[in-house]
Amino acid sequence: MEELIKEIKKNIIEVLNLEDLTPEDIENDAPLFGEGLGLDSIDALELIVMMEKEYGIKLKNPAEGKEIFKSINVMAQYISDHRTK
Amino acid sequence: MYFLADNIISPLGNTTELNYQAVAAGRSALRHYPAADAAVPGACPAGAFPEESVSLEPYVAARFSAGQLHDIEINGLTRFEALAVQSARQAIDQAGIDVSAPNVVFILSTTKANIDSLRTGEESDEAFIPSAAAEHIAKYLGFTTKPLVVCNACISGVAAIITAKRLLDAGFFDQAVVCGADVLGRFFLSGFQSLKALSPDECRPFDIERIGLNLGEAAATIVFSTSRSRFRVEDGAIRNDAFHISSPSKNGEGAYLALQAIHEATFHDDLSFINAHGTATMFNDQMEAVAISRAGLSDVPVNGLKGFFGHTMGAAGILETIMSKEALLHGQILATRGFEETGTSVTLNLANVNRAASKKRFIKMISGFGGGNAAVLVHSENRDCISSAKIDHNECAINTHHHIILDSRSVKLDQEPIACHECGRNLLVELYKKYISDYPKFYKMDPLCRLGLVASDLLLQAVSDIPQAVILFNHSSSSQADRSFWATVSDPDESFPSPAHFVYTLPNIVTGEIAMRHGIHGETSFYILPDRDEGFINKIVNSICREKDFVNALVGWIDYPDDEHYLADLRFIRKA
């Protein structure tokens, strides 16, 4: 799980162009949206693309993302439970 | 400015009359289309549509049939160009004007023109750039003046009408042919699918169960003239939300300001209806309802036509203005197809059946990516009380207060060089880190927006007040972002369309980014020209400065063809 968390953080920084951040700056429990990293609705859609491209997880409804992208921990759990690649 | 002639070509017919009859009779162009599935040969009927227009997901849209596409075809022109030519030619013939005269201007409203030629194009091929298409169309039709492309995302059509009005009111031209068009291909379909904005069923504007929009293809043309006729464009305004590049503002700020700018209390009792954008996305329709209510217009009948035509993008503002003008002529308010139960926090005066109306004015409003909102007021005048056309040939005096020139190797503010070492793409990062540094969104932007953000920030650091408007021009549109997005789509086995890249394929996003950064709620406009024609640019800027409430603006040239040849030449100007 440690490895996966590190990888997810790296992927997020890359696909969302969070140039000023390093994986260490992202807390595992902090919310990704709103107060946390200040991500917006396009970022959420971009994360949906990342889920499919990197882990083979297809989210049909963007509203599902709300739950899954709550924090790095929640995301990592969801990915390890549902990944197809 | 007056309506002289018009035309609509949509899947419902190839004249305004046929389109009006179809919609008045409740006929829709929306159809279900299956996904092109590699595993199921023939899932999409072979040969029915151009190869680039097949999609990986099933969708609902308003598309031309194979037979209609065949009728539109013109040898030597692309599908997009031929569609625009067919529509413009009908309107021009009907108007009986000589388009080769120097007092006639051609204005093309489009979001992506020939974008699907990017699929086959070489790196250096510029056919996909909107100004190339505009030149082909204008030449084919016989224009001798330079074509102007209004590229303001979804609001382009209404913005083009407003641009024409200003150029004619200022006396720069006597007639304007305003043509809007877009065609559906893989670029659009995959982009909107990545934004999760498409409804899998027929769209339901303003309804409680609306879940998204349907795309549509069409062309629509209006020939405008300074000579008097029955229908007049009385007023028009463009305002920005300064909220988000792809989500409308929660309080409908830009749309409210646009409505407020064109609506005077004296017209209120004479307003037949408001034709809304009504895309049937959750956020757009809610925003429009709030804006209409804030403008004190909730009692005025509202309608939306996307249930008949889909969202026809570059054509939408023109097509829906023509349909609304016809409705005014026929004493009708057209139905909002797909609407059943109010689904906005404010109740609007909507109906899914045609209603009778006898008043003399309507408002067409529209909103789009980049935070832009526009509205026009159209008046049906009695023959005996037609007011005189207001042509004011006096140029408006403009002063430049500050000036920045930023290219791939150097930057000068008011002729003084700013210290920097890097060049190309890295120069923008260096300038951002050194002189701005507090806006990490910079890193998310495409090259054109990065250039716009850095140049406007450096320029506005020298200015004590915030500009009221942002008016930008270029040649290459958003070619860098177009290629980046296409790279995420083009491989059929590894197609993961990027929503972030797609949004930046609208060049006017740079005006929206600047508006957001500085809280600018005035006009944001983006124009594309065949070349950097200062005379033409000055005419357009001058015609904007003549607006009654104009004070100051950020204006200029901003082009990013590649990392070595970019240029931002921006000015902070004030009305003298």
Judged by average pLDDT, the poorest of B113-127, B282-296, B525-539 is B113-127
Same domain, B277 and B418: no
Q: Chain A: which residues have CB within 8 Å of chain B?
A: 16-20, 40-43, 45-46, 48-49, 52-53, 62
Q: What is the pLDDT of residue B446?
A: 96
CB contact under 8 A, A16 and B497: no
Reported confidence tier of residue A85, pLDDT bands at 50, 70, 90: confident
Angstroms from A42 CA to nearest CA on chain B? 6
What b/e readout covers A68-78, taking b as 16+ CB neighbours within 10 angstroms? bbbbbebbbeb
Give the span between the Cα atoms of B429 and B451, in whole angstroms.
10
| Angle, CA of A63, A69 and A72, to the nearest 5° | 170
For residue B164, give the CATH number of its domain. Answer: 3.40.47.10
What is the second-level CATH architecture of the domain A2-82?
Orthogonal Bundle (1.10)
Q: Which residue shows structure tokens 């400015």?
A: B1
Same domain, B307 and B158: yes
Domain holding B304, by residue range, is 2-383
Look at residues B426, B430, B431 and name the one whose alpha carbon lies nearest to residue B404.
B431
Same domain, B425 and B318: no
DSSP tag of B155 = G
pLDDT greater than 90 at residue B186 = no
Same domain, B347 and B456: no
Residue B149 lies in a domain: yes
Which residue did the predictor score with more confidence, A38 or B215? Answer: B215
Same domain, B48 and B163: yes
Give the span between the Cα atoms of B257 and B373, in whole angstroms.
9
Residue pLDDT, tens place only, A31-47: 888 777 778 889 999 99
Spatial contact of B86 and B75, defined as CB atoms under 8 Å apart: no
Give the span between the Cα atoms of B155 and B168, in whole angstroms.
20
Residue B388 lies in a domain: no
Chain B residue closest to A18 (CA)?
Answer: B443
B196, B247, B444 ranked by CB distance to A17: nearest? B444
Angstroms from A13 CA to nearest CA on chain B? 11
Same domain, B320 and B403: no
CB contact under 8 A, A49 and B196: no
Chain B residue closest to A43 (CA)?
Answer: B500
CB contact under 8 A, A20 and B440: yes
Residue B131 lies in a domain: yes
CB contacts of A20 in chain B (<8 Å) are: 440, 443
**Pairing label, strands B567-575, B524-528:** unpaired
Same domain, B260 and B378: yes
Same domain, B280 and B416: no
Where a domain ends, among B352, B383, B414?
Answer: B383
Report how far apart, in Å, the C-alpha atoms of B446 and of each of B123, B232, B442, B503 are. Answer: 18, 40, 9, 10
Give the span between the Cα atoms of B70 and B50, in whole angstroms.
11
Judged by average pLDDT, the poorest of B294-308, B385-399, B524-538 is B385-399
Chain A residue closest to B499 (CA)?
Answer: A46
Residue B410 lies in a domain: yes
Residue B412 lies in a domain: yes
Amino acid at B63: R
Where a domain ends, among B383, B412, B444?
Answer: B383
- How many Cβ atoms are within 10 Å of B340's Cβ, its own excluded? 13
Angstroms from A48 CA to nearest CA on chain B? 9
Give the span between the Cα atoms of B91 and B176, in whole angstroms.
11
Number of independent structural domains in chain B: 2
Same domain, B120 and B215: yes
- DSSP characters for chain A? -HHHHHHHHHHHHHHTT-TT--GGGS-SSS-SBTTTS-B-HHHHHHHHHHHHHHH----SSHHHHHHHTS-HHHHHHHHHHH---
- DSSP characters for B262-331? H--GGGGGGEEEEE------HHHHHHHHHHHHHTT-TTSBEE--HHHH-B-GGGHHHHHHHHHHHHHHTT
Residue pLDDT, tens place only, B333-372: 999 999 999 999 999 999 999 999 999 999 999 999 999 9
Chain A residue closest to B445 (CA)?
Answer: A17
Q: What is the pLDDT of residue B46?
A: 39
Which of helix, strand or coil describes residue B527? strand
Where a domain ends, among B336, B353, B383?
Answer: B383
Same domain, B507 and B364: no
Mean pLDDT of the region B449-458: 98
- How many Cβ atoms are within 10 Å of B293's Cβ, its own excluded? 18
CB contact under 8 A, B500 and A46: yes
CB contacts of A16 in chain B (<8 Å) are: 444, 500
B244, B443, B498 ranked by CB distance to A40: nearest? B244
CB contact under 8 A, A62 and B443: no
CB contacts of B497 in chain A (<8 Å) are: 49
Spatial contact of B354 and B333, defined as CB atoms under 8 Å apart: yes
The model's pTM: 0.95
